[in-house]
C-alpha cells in the first residue's frame, strides 16, 4: 500500500484545525498526522511526528507562526504552507513568511464556516501535494524581515517603451520576481507587464514592496495605465490584464472575463494579448509555478515573432508552468533565475539584430539552447 502524505496542521483556532483536517483528508493520499494550537506545540509535534508538510497560521499566541517558521527553516526545513488572513496585516505577514522560506500560502475566507472553506479546498490540497513533491529547498532561505529600499528620482523621465516584456509566474513568484526586478536598471528599455497568481487585495501590497526595492517603477495595474520603459505593472488579483497599442501611448486594459485555466488573472490571457498587440516587439517569460497557465499564450508570442523564455528547473520552486511551455515547443531559451536580468537586457539587442539579418553570437547561443 502506498504511503500517505503526512501533514501537520498548526492553528490557534480549534474550528480551523478541524476544518483544515477535514478538507485535506478528503484526498485519499493525504493523512493529517497531528494538529497544534501554537508554534511551541507545533515544534514538539514536528519532532515527534515527522510530517512531510506543515500548514500554519501566522497569528497565534505564545510562539507565533513566524517564530515557528524561522525554527523550521534553521533545522528540519519541512515545506510550510501558510494559511493567511485575508487582510492588509495578514498580507504583510504572508510576504515576510515567503521571504523566510515558506513554500506558498492560501488565504482564509472571511468566515471560517464550513461552506466558506470550500473556496480554498482544492487549492489547499493541490498546494500540499506540490509542496511535498518539491521537497526541501537546496539553499537555505534568506532570513530577512525587510527589503532594502531604493530611492527613486522625483523627476523621473518616462519614455514610451519600444518593446514589452510579459511575465507569467505563480508558486515561488514573490521571491523570484523580487530577485529579477531588483536587478533591472532604472533605464531598462522595455515596459513590463506581469501576471502573478495572487488573491485580490494582496497584489497592491506586493507591488508596493517591490517598488521599494527596485530601481524600476513597480505598481499594481489599473485600466488606462500607460506602459512606459522601466515600468512594471502587476495584474490585480481577480482581474485579467490585457494590453492595447494606441497612437498616444500603449496602455493597460483590465477585464472581468471568466477564469482561464482556473485563474484570474491568467498568464495565457496576458500573453495572447501581448502577442496580438506587440507581435515581434514582445518577449514572453514564464517562471516558477504549478499548473499549465501561460504555456499556450507563450506559443502565441512565439508565433507572432516574439522572443520566449522559460525559467529553468533547477531555479524554480515548482517547474510546472515552464515545463508545460517547454514540452509544447513554445520556448526559445531556457535560463536560470540569476541569469534572467542580463538575458532580458540582451534580448532587445539580439532580436533587433535578428530582424536586420545580422548574425551575432548571442542569437547563435540562443539557438543552441533550445529545448
Active site residues: 170, 197, 293
Question: In the structure grid, which three cell numbers stand for residue 261, read together?
Answer: 485555466
Q: What is the CA radius of gyration of the chain?
A: 21
**Size of the chain, expressed as the number of residues it contains:** 371
Helix (H) or strand (E) holding 72: helix 65-74
Q: Parallel, antiparallel, or unpaired for β 191-196 and 307-311?
A: unpaired
Using CA atoms, how far residue 18 sits from 4, 13, 23, 59, 242, in Å, is 19, 9, 9, 17, 41
CA 174, CA 10: separation in Å to the nearest integer? 23
The phi-psi region of residue 96 (left if phi > 0; otherwise alpha if psi is between -120 and 50; otherwise beta) is alpha
* Pairing of β 231-234 and β 104-107: unpaired
Phi-psi sector, 51: left (phi>0), alpha (psi -120 to 50), beta: beta
DSSP 279: G
Residues 6+ apart with CB under 8 A from 371: 326, 331, 334
Q: Which residues contact residue 93 at a Cβ distance below 8 angstroms, ignoring those fewer than 6 apart?
A: 58, 59, 65, 66, 84, 85
Closest CA to 311 of 175, 205, 217: 175
Report the SS3 class of residue 107: strand
Amino acid at each position: 500500500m502506498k504511503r500517505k502524505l503526512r501533514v501537520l496542521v498548526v492553528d490557534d483556532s480549534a474550528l480551523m484545525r478541524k476544518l483544515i483536517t477535514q478538507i485535506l483528508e478528503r484526498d485519499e493520499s493525504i493523512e493529517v498526522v497531528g494538529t497544534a494550537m501554537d508554534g511551541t506545540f507545533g515544534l514538539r509535534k514536528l519532532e515527534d511526528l515527522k510530517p512531510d508538510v506543515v500548514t500554519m497560521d501566522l497569528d497565534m499566541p505564545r510562539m507565533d507562526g513566524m517564530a515557528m517558521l524561522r525554527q523550521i527553516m534553521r533545522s528540519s526545513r519541512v515545506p510550510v504552507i501558510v494559511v493567511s488572513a485575508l487582510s492588509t496585516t495578514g498580507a504583510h505577514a504572508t510576504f515576510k513568511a515567503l521571504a523566510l522560506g515558506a513554500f506558498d500560502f492560501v488565504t482564509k475566507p472571511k468566515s471560517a464556516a464550513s461552506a466558506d472553506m470550500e473556496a480554498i479546498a482544492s487549492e489547499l490540497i493541490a498546494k500540499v501535494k506540490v509542496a511535498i513533491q518539491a521537497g526541501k529547498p537546496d539553499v537555505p532561505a534568506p532570513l530577512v524581515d525587510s527589503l532594502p529600499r531604493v530611492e527613486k528620482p522625483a523627476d523621473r523621465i518616462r519614455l514610451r517603451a519600444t518593446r514589452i516584456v510579459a511575465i507569467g509566474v505563480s508558486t515561488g513568484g514573490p521571491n523570484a520576481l523580487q530577485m529579477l526586478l531588483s536587478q533591472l536598471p532604472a533605464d531598462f528599455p522595455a515596459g513590463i507587464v506581469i501576471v502573478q497568481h495572487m488573491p485580490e487585495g494582496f497584489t497592491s501590497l506586493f507591488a508596493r514592496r517591490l517598488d521599494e526595492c527596485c530601481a524600476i517603477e513597480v505598481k499594481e495595474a489599473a485600466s488606462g495605465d500607460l506602459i512606459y520603459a522601466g515600468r512594471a505593472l502587476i495584474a490585480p488579483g481577480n482581474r485579467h490584464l490585457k494590453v492595447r497599442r494606441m497612437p498616444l501611448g500603449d496602455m493597460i486594459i483590465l477585464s472581468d472575463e471568466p477564469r482561464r485555466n482556473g485563474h484570474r488573472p491568467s498568464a495565457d490571457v496576458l500573453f495572447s494579448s501581448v502577442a496580438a498587440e506587440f507581435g515581434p516587439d514582445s518577449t514572453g517569460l514564464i517562471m516558477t509555478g504549478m499548473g499549465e497557465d501561460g504555456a499556450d499564450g507563450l506559443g502565441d508570442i512565439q508565433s507572432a515573432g516574439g522572443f520566449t523564455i522559460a525559467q529553468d528547473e533547477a531555479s524554480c520552486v515548482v517547474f510546472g508552468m515552464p515545463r508545460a511551455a517547454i514540452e509544447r515547443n513554445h520556448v526559445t531559451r531556457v535560463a536560470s533565475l540569476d541569469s534572467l536580468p542580463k538575458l532580458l537586457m540582451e534580448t532587445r539587442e539580439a532580436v533587433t539584430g535578428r530582424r536586420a539579418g545580422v548574425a551575432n553570437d548571442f542569437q547563435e547561443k540562443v539557438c543552441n539552447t533550445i529545448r
